[in-house]
Every structure is written in C-alpha cells, then in structure tokens.
A and B are shown apart, each in its own frame.
Chain A
C-alpha cells in the first residue's frame, strides 16, 4: 500500500487542505520530507559541502568520527546549518537526535552564525578588574551588540570568555584570531571598524 502513487496522493491531499481541519492529522505520518537530499543536490558545487563530504569519506563514514566531522563543518561554515547536520547524520547513518544532542552539548559548536568577524572579550578576573565591562558597554552603546549577538548584516559577532589565559595583557580582546592586550574601549571600536571596512574594500575590488 505504501507505494509511490499512494504517497503522492497523500501529499496532494495534504497540500490542498493543509490550512484546514479537513485533513485527518494522521495523514502527516506518511509524509516524509528529505531535507538533506534536496539541500545537498542544490549545493553540490559549494566547496564547503565538498569539504565536509571529503572529510566524511576520509573518516570512512565511521559514526564515532562525528565530532571530527562536525569540527570540519564548523570551520568551513563558521557555524552548523541544519541541512549540514542532516547531511552528516545521513552520511554516518547516525540518528538525527544523536547528532543534534552532540552539537548542543559542546559549547564550541554553534547552530547560529557567529558573524564573519568575531570580537571575543575576556571577562576573567584580571580583565574584569582592568575594565572588560567598559569594553562590553562601549560595544553595546556604539554597535548595539550584547554578548552572543551578531549584527544584522552578519559582519560582526560579540562573544565573551571567562579567561583566555592572557591575564598579563588585561584587558584582553581577541579579534578574529589575533589577541590584543591592554586595550581601551575606543581602541577596540577602531580595530573593529578597520576590520569591517577592510572587508568592504576587499568586497568592492
């Protein structure tokens, strides 16, 4: 009974009446969407997708290589979009709930974009005493960004860390991957503007 024609018929019925009470809700049980399949065929030429696919192949599709593959995906995309999680889950034959639980357990993995550039403010004891809060206040006043937020154009994200181990440089800020020590709130803003503007110039060339 569960052949293609039957499924098509069910889909037609549900689509026609999806906003009314006419569809018996159990019919939705027979509708299985394939999020991963569609998205991956659309983005097959995306080098980032290719990178993740290559990594999965290199790890021989072992389910216990999940964390390594998630690392590769996060480095390629900057965060972990849901279709990529579907793609990885299908590839490694892991249940979706297992993939999602791993991603949400570790703080390193992020489901939301962290921004093209990141400004990580250390809020450890030494940096706090030396004025980390003033930097965070300045970022909130001038850019409207609180900890964990990203600008609307996805250019910049602000994060905080408990201690980055550079207490001698307090207050310390990490812009992308560069550590800047003994900074004033105004310095941080200037460096951020330099970063985002340099990106704009590179984009127009």
Chain B
C-alpha cells in the first residue's frame, strides 16, 4: 500500500497509488456516471461517460482507466463534462434503435436511467437506423443487435468470469457488431455454455430470455461481482 494524496473537487483525499480515479471516487461517495464499467470485470473506457477534468491536461480523461497520481487535481463535474455526457448519451440513442415503449428492459435499463438523469428530452442527431439482425437461434436467449450500445460488458464477462469467450467484437466504425464464435448464430456456438451471465451484464435490453415481454426483464448485475468475490474466497 502506497498512500498518496489527491484533490477531488477541491477536497483533499487519500488514495492507494494503484487505484483508478473511478475507484477512489466510488469509495468517497463522489458520483461518476458510467455505462461500460461493471464491478468485477476489467475496464475498457468505451462509453466515455466517466470523463473527468485533470488539472494541467487539456483533454478530458476517462475515470475508469486513468490511475491516480500524487497531487492530481481532479474535477468530476462541470459544464464542459455535462455537455459531453449529454452528447455521448444522445449519440448512443441515435446510433441504433432504442424504443423504450416496446423494449423488454423498459424500467430496468441503464441507458434509460442515464437519459432521464441527464434530462435529455430530444435527440439532436439524425438516427442512423442501421440494418441489424436479431439472433433468435439460441434455445433460451435472444440477442437483438438493434439495442446494443457496444459497451462490451457481455464480451468481458464471458471472457473473464465465465471463461468461455463466446462473444467478441467484429468490424470497426459503424460496422461493429457483437459476434458469437465465427459469426455463427448463437444457438450453433461451440463455446457458449448458456450460463446467462451476459444477460445480467447487459446494461440495456439487447440480450434477454425468451418468453418474457415488454418491461419484464429484471436483471441482477451485482451477481457478477459477487461471483468474482466468492471465487477469490474459494482460493
């Protein structure tokens, strides 16, 4: 343990040298918005909602992948950050097809909560409406790429917690899609163990069990971290 002192929003705070800004903020009850972060799995800095301002740097840095340094002066919220958070969330809406009224995750969706929290009433950007498939080949679950926000939480939970690595990301830019195996239908995957962890990791309604309807998808994302902690204890 190497304790250092940093400054967050004008308050002096003690932190461990190896921690990320996000971890320190969560420990000290300082609010940071996140979407692609999930306790128990690694961070990739994909959603850009946790951006913070660091004194001496012109760029905003993602709190989830930036490590604390001695005497770092961090601002977690200001007008600039709020503006970017709004833009990011609106772009998430505009990129694919998010219609809460018909979504299984209605009322239990992190994107919906985020939109309400940031008081977004309109999407200022044209919707892209890309040609996305819906994979219903798995006997128990459905994957709807129209609702995916590419946070890659399912990919990381499958790789790191379940160890199956059924999911990954193909392509780049607008063409990115979550794929199972060799872009084979989910039901024909040779690696999927049908454990359902990706379903609990998904922040939106992109993965859900068959035979449920609008607003009925209730998830237990905390289960992933509990599982990781329990496995550590078993060692």
Whether, in the assembled complex, A86 has its beta carbon less than 8 Å from a beta carbon of chain B, the answer is yes
A75 interfacial by beta-carbon distance below 8 Å: no
Cβ contacts A64-107/B at 8 Å (1 or 0 each): 00000000000000000010011001000001111111001100
Give the segment of A21-29, A53-61, A121-129, A167-175 that binds chain B.
A21-29
- Nearest A residue to B166 via CB reads A97
7 contacts between A and B (CB under 8 A): A26-B140, A28-B187, A89-B182, A95-B166, A100-B182, A101-B169, A105-B171
User: When chains A and B are docked, how far (Å) is the Cα of A95 from the Cα of B165?
Assistant: 6
A32-B190, A86-B182 given as contacts; is B165 within 8 A of A97 (CB)? yes
Q: Are A26 and B171 in contact (CB under 8 A)?
A: no
Bound Cα distance A38, B187 (Å): 20
With A28-B187, A29-B194, A104-B171 as contacts: A98 and B139 at CB distance below 8 Å: no
- Report chain B residues within 8 Å CB of A100: 168, 170, 179, 181-183
| A residues near B164, Cβ cutoff 8 Å | 95
In the assembled complex, the CB of A14 is this many whole angstroms from the nearest CB of chain B, namely 12
Chain A at the B interface: SS class:
helix
Judge whether A82 and B182 touch: CB under 8 Å: yes
A82 to B179, CA, bound (A): 15
**Residues of B bordering A, CB below 8 Å:** 139-140, 159, 164-172, 179-184, 187-188, 190-191, 194
Bitwise, A24-67 to B at CB < 8 A (1) or not (0) is 11101100110000000000000000000000000000000000
A104 to B191, CA, bound (A): 20
Which chain B residues lie closer than 8 Å to A105 at the CB level?
170-172
Find chain B residues with CB under 8 A from A32 CB. Answer: 190
* B180 engages A97 (CB within 8 Å): yes
| Residues A28 and B183 in contact, CB atoms below 8 Å apart | no
Complex Cα–Cα for A98 and B169 (A): 8
Query: Residues of A within 8 Å of B, CB-based: how many?
Result: 20
A96 touches B190 (CB 8 A): yes
Residues of A within 8 A of B140 (CB): 26
Q: In the complex the two chains form, is B168's CB within 8 Å of A97's CB?
A: yes
Quote the shortest CB–CB distance from A25 to chain B (angstroms): 4
B171 near A95 (CB under 8 angstroms)? no
B contact residues around A25 at 8 Å (CB) = 139, 187
Which of A26, A29, A99 is B182 in contact with, Cβ under 8 Å? A99
* Shortest CB distance B47–A (Å): 19
Q: Which residues of A contact B194 (CB under 8 A)?
A: 29
**Besides A33-B190, A100-B179, A101-B169, 16 other A-B contacts (C-beta < 8 A):** A24-B139, A28-B188, A29-B187, A32-B190, A82-B182, A86-B182, A89-B182, A95-B166, A95-B168, A97-B167, A97-B179, A97-B180, A97-B182, A100-B182, A101-B170, A105-B170
In angstroms, Cα B139 to Cα A100, docked, is 23
Distance between Cα atoms of A101 and B139 in the complex (Å)? 25
The residue on A at minimum CB distance from B194 is A29
Tell whether, in the assembled complex, residue A96 and residue B181 are in contact, meaning their CB atoms are under 8 Å apart: yes
